[in-house]
Chain A
Amino acid sequence: MPETFTAEHPADIVHSFAEHRRFLHNLAAMQLNSRDEADDAVQDTFAAAIDGVAGFSGQVPVRAWLVGILRNKIVDAIRRRARYIRLDPADALPSDDAEFDDRFTADGCWQPGVLHAAGPESSMAYRQLLELVDLCLQKLPANTGRVFLMREFLGLEFTEIASQLELAEGHLRVLLYRARMRLRDCVSRGWEDA
């Protein structure tokens, strides 16, 4: 769908919010503790966007604009929390370093056949590519996804994430590494299957 932002009437922009609700809700739910909290963050986002729609410049897509507002709402919610979020230890521990062993040979070279396609099929529209990334994000183990989004979506500093989750920084780095490795696996498989 071709999107021209600047010419749109504010009422049309507001009308288009609904199609982004599920995406926003998924993002919020990966960060916050309950559906209710996620619902509130999305509602607050829409309310703020409706208030601010007259000032929306159209420089970025509507969704990117909403996502930016949601980011602030989630950061606020996280910072308001009095207590730490405990990660599920089963998912959070660095276990035995073995998670990606099957991707590499004993001396650390890529195994032939695990790399999949270097890039997407030309038949895939950009919107589909982003949907694929979204799908792969949803497949991350809950804690891995939460840590990844605190860093890559909320843009929080390592020290803040580490103290929010009572996690050592080294451990945090390992979780981020795992998230990116899993995402690469997942999207590159999707590019090949397209």
Chain B
Amino acid sequence: MRPPDHHDDEHDDRNDGARFSCRDSTWLVSEARDRPLSATERAQLHRHIDSCPHCQVASKQFERLFAQIDDLLGHTRHNGG
């Protein structure tokens, strides 16, 4: 899987939302572990997840998995709630 085309240009964002897929969202969820997402990426991701029940399940799974990985590998988490 290659990274989908992401447009960091804010103005590019409006018409792009419809083509952003579940598969694209998994890519960004992974990327977000390694770097802060751009504002456009965050907006794309959240807009998609909000409207997609499958991705709500998947993102919950990733969130739990990542928290458990942090515990397993001895990273202290900053509890934001």
Q: A residues within 8 Å of B by Cβ?
A: 27, 60, 63-68, 71, 94, 97, 99-100, 104, 107-110, 112, 115-116, 118-120, 129-130, 133-134, 137, 149, 151-153, 158, 170, 173-174, 176-178, 180-181, 183-184, 187-188
Contacts and interface: CB of A to CB of B under 8 A. Distances in A.
Interface of B: 1-3, 21-24, 26-27, 29-31, 33-34, 54-55, 57-58, 60-62, 64-65, 68-69, 71-74, 76
A27 B74 CA distance: 12
A133 B31 contact: no
Contacts of B34: 151, 158, 173, 176
Contacts of B69: 133, 152, 183
Contact of B57 (A27, A65, A115): A115
A152 B33 contact: yes
B72 to A, nearest CB: 5
Contacts of B33: 152, 176, 180
B22 A104 contact: yes
Overall SS of chain A's interface: helix
Contacts of B71: 64, 130
Nearest to B27: A177
Contact of B65 (A115, A133, A149, A173): A133
A122 to B, nearest CB: 13
B30 A188 contact: no
A181 B26 contact: yes
Contact of A60 (B22, B60, B74): B74
B61 A99 contact: no
Contact of A110 (B22, B31, B60, B76): B22
Contacts of A64: 71, 74, 76
17 contacts: A63-B74, A64-B74, A65-B74, A66-B74, A71-B74, A94-B2, A100-B1, A104-B22, A110-B55, A115-B61, A119-B60, A152-B33, A173-B3, A173-B31, A176-B34, A187-B64, A187-B65
Q: Which of A63, A120, A173 has the most CB of B within 10 A?
A: A173
B22 A99 contact: no
A129 B68 contact: yes
Contacts of B76: 60, 64
A43 B31 CA distance: 35
Q: Which of A65, A94, A119, A178 has the most CB of B within 10 A?
A: A119
A104 B72 contact: no
